[in-house]
Amino acid sequence: MSTQQQKPETQESPEDPEMKGAESPQQERLKEKESGMVDERSADESELDGETVHIKVFRYDPEVADKQEPRFDDFHVPFKKGMTVLDAVMYARDTYDSSLTFRHSCRQAVCGSDAFFVNGKQRLGCKTQISELEHPVRIEPLPHQEVVKDLVVDMDHFYDQMHAVEPYFQNEDTPDASDLEEQRQSRENREKVKMSTRCIWCASCMSSCNIAAGDNEYLGPAAINKAYRFAMDDREGDEIKEHRLRILEQEHGVWRCQTQFSCTEVCPKDIPLTEHIQELKREAVKKNLKFW
């Protein structure tokens, strides 16, 4: 079974970053997030302090007869300054219902295990402040993924797509064992691939992608971004890059992307996923151009 997802909002085209004083699309997104431009903000922390927060949590358990029908359970959690969505569901589990099931680990927005669908948007539970959300806070599993139990979804297909792009460094000129040296990378090249290395495999982008929802074979934005990280690494060489581009330009590769920016919008690490996909499209076209 899977949950429903709201249609992504349309995104205006960013200004030309080459214009004097203009900012790149990534800088604009970061600036918006840092300035707290959240339309659904209904109360600040001072208003909530000492009160309870109403959360509605999706419940489903295929192994228990009376829980096989999906539903929402209501919990009222005491609010504390700095409380996150993950804090709230952990309190609900520890205090009210120990059978409430979800994934979490580092609580520092690094492991990517606690990605939920919160108030109609993919978010990391440990990174999302309760005070910035409309109440009641509606918490669901990631859309377009098979639900295992409650907020836990099956990640096997996502991992298969990630591994399909061969997400590991492959160098054509490996030094001899007797003459081992560092595989040095220029500062400029490192800067180019830096943002793509931030991926934490949370699957938020894949869940938000309408193309991935309708095409189970589509590699998806996370896998393509991982391929970008290596395809743009100058140390791998032209032959390996061509090999990677052949993987990416297949029928269910980069050309399935319709540039909706939904993946970029929900990425918790602010990776410009859509821009990376478009750059790989350009690289695939250049590879097939011949001048004679």
Residue with more model confidence, 174 or 285:
285
Using a pLDDT cut of 90, give the percent of the chain over it.
64
Give the CA-trace dihedral at 40, 95, 108, 224, to 10 degrees.
-70
Instruction: Detail the DSSP E strand segments found in 89-223.
Output: 115-118, 121-124, 137-140, 147-149, 152-153
156-170+188-288: CATH topology is Fumarate Reductase Iron-sulfur Protein; Chain B, domain 2 (1.10.1060)
Give residue 163's pLDDT. 95
38-145: CATH topology is Ubiquitin-like (UB roll) (3.10.20)
Residue type, 188: E
Q: Where in the chain is the domain with CATH 1.10.1060.10?
A: 156-170+188-288
Cis status of the peptide bond prior to 136, with omega within 30 of 0: yes
User: Mind listing the pLDDT tens digit for each residue in 222-273?
Assistant: 999 999 999 999 888 888 888 989 999 888 999 999 999 999 999 999 999 9
Token pair, residue 187, equals 């500062």
Q: Where in the chain is the domain with CATH 3.10.20.30?
A: 38-145
The gap between the terminal CA atoms of the chain, to the nearest Å, is: 54
Average pLDDT of the residues of the chain? 85
Q: What span, in angstroms and rounded, lies between the C-alpha atoms of 254 and 246? A: 11
User: Mind listing the pLDDT tens digit for each residue in 117-157?
Assistant: 999 999 999 999 999 999 999 999 999 999 999 999 999 99
Helix (H) or strand (E) holding 74: strand 71-78
> Which residue, 204, 109, 119, is CA-closest to 153?
204
At residue 9 the predicted structure's pLDDT band, cuts being 50, 70 and 90, is very low
Q: What span, in angstroms and rounded, lies between the C-alpha atoms of 116 and 99? A: 18
Res. 3: pLDDT tops 60: no
User: Mind listing the pLDDT tens digit for each residue in 147-189?
Assistant: 999 999 999 999 999 999 999 888 776 666 666 777 788 899 9
Residue 225's φ and ψ, nearest 5 degrees, are -60, -40
Res. 17: pLDDT tops 50: no
Res. 45: pLDDT tops 90: no
